[in-house]
Amino acid sequence: MLKFEENISLKPYNTFGIEVQTKYFYKITNSHELKEIISRNQNIHFRVLGGGSNVLFTDNFKGLTLLIANKGIEVLEESKENITVEVQAGENWHEFVLWCLNHNYGGIENLALIPGNVGAAPIQNIGAYGVELTSVFKYCKALNKDTLEEEIITKKDCGFDYRSSIFKTIKKGKYIITSVCFKLQKFPHNVNIKYGVLKQTFLNRSPKIQQVAAAVIKIRQSKLPNPKILGNSGSFFKNPLVSKSHYELLKASYPELPSFSSTNEQLKIPAAWLIDHLGFKGTIHGGVGVHKNQALVLVNLGTAKGKEVLDLAKKIQLAVKKTFNISLETEVNIL
C-alpha cells in the first residue's frame, strides 16, 4: 500500500519560493505508481507538480499533490543523421540539455537554462531564441486520467501553438505526461542563430552547439534572476499577439514600439516593452517586485504570499489594457 506524507510544505517545490502546504504528498518515481495511486484514491482531489517553475501557489491545498519525479533517458533508435531518445517526465530540462551537449546531439541548445522538468515542456511548448520544442518533439506518453491508460500523443495531435498545446486548452487536466520522445541531430548540426542577439553574437561564424548553448546561458543569466536566490517563475506573461491594424494604431502613438512577425496575419509585441514603458520595471510592491533587468519577471523579495504576486500581476494587466488595449495572458499557472 502506497503511503502519503501529510501536511507537507511546498516551498521547496516551487521556484517562486511561496510557503503553502498540501494535505497529502507523494513523490512519483514511475508510471505504475501513478496509475495505482489514481485508481485507488478516486475520492481524493489531486493535482500534479513537476519542477514547480511555472506555477504560482496562492493558497494551501486540501488534497493530494503528486510530484512527478521519474528519471531516465533511453536511446530508442538512431541513424547517420539523427537519434531518437525517450526522456522521463521527471528529468530536469536543463540537465537534459547538458546531456545532449555532452553527447553532441543538436536541436535544443537554444533552450538551455529554461527552468522546469521535461514533462512540462510539451504543455507549454517551451521556446527561446528562435527555437520551440515542436522542432524536436516526436511524441509523448501520457496517462489518461479518465481511462487510466497510457496513450502515445503525436506532434500532430498535440495542437502546438505559441506557448500552448492541447494540454493547456481543450485537453487541460485530462492527461499526465509521463515521458517525452525527441528526435535530435547528429553532427553536422543545423544550428539556429537567426534570433537577433545570437546573430549579433556570432556574426558570420558557424558556431558549435556547445557555443550556442553557452551564449544562451550567458544571456539568460544576465537578464533573469536565479530562483535559488530570488524567487521567480521566469517570464510571467506571454508576448501578446495583435492584428496588424491594431499595431499600426499603436505605432502612431508609440513610434518605438517593437514587433515580430507571427502567424495568421498577426504581430507579436514584446510584453516586456509594454510593462517597461509603463514604468513597472524595477519597482517594488510590498514583498514582491518587477525585476530590474527583465520586466517580464515578477519576483518574491523574501516572504511574499502568492496572492501578493497575483495582485501585482493583475495591476500590470490592468495598466496594459488601459493604455494599449492589449490583454496580457499569464504563462504561469495560478493555483
> Which of the residues are catalytic?
163, 235, 331
Cα–Cα distances in Å, from 123 out to 66, 243, 267? 17, 26, 23
**Residue 137 near residue 159 (C-beta atoms within 8 A):** no
* Angle in degrees, 0-180, between the axes of helices 209-223 and 93-102, rounded to the nearest 10: 150
Place of cell 503511503: 3
Rounded CA separation 118/91 (Å): 6
Identity at 35, one-letter amino acid code: K
Rounded CA separation 248/255 (Å): 9
Rounded CA separation 217/22 (Å): 34
Rounded CA separation 139/137 (Å): 6
Rounded CA separation 206/45 (Å): 52
The dihedrals phi and psi of 41, each to the nearest 5 degrees, come to -130, 55
The three three-digit cell numbers of residue 42, written as one number: 478516486
The three three-digit cell numbers of residue 147, written as one number: 481511462
H-only helix segments in the chain: 31-40, 93-102, 121-124, 196-202, 209-223, 244-253, 271-277, 306-324
Rounded CA separation 23/26 (Å): 11
Residues shown for the chain: 335
Query: How many C-alpha atoms does 96 have within 13 Å on its Cβ side?
Result: 30
The dihedral of CA 94, 217, 224, 226: what is its sign?
Answer: positive
Place of cell 501529510: 6
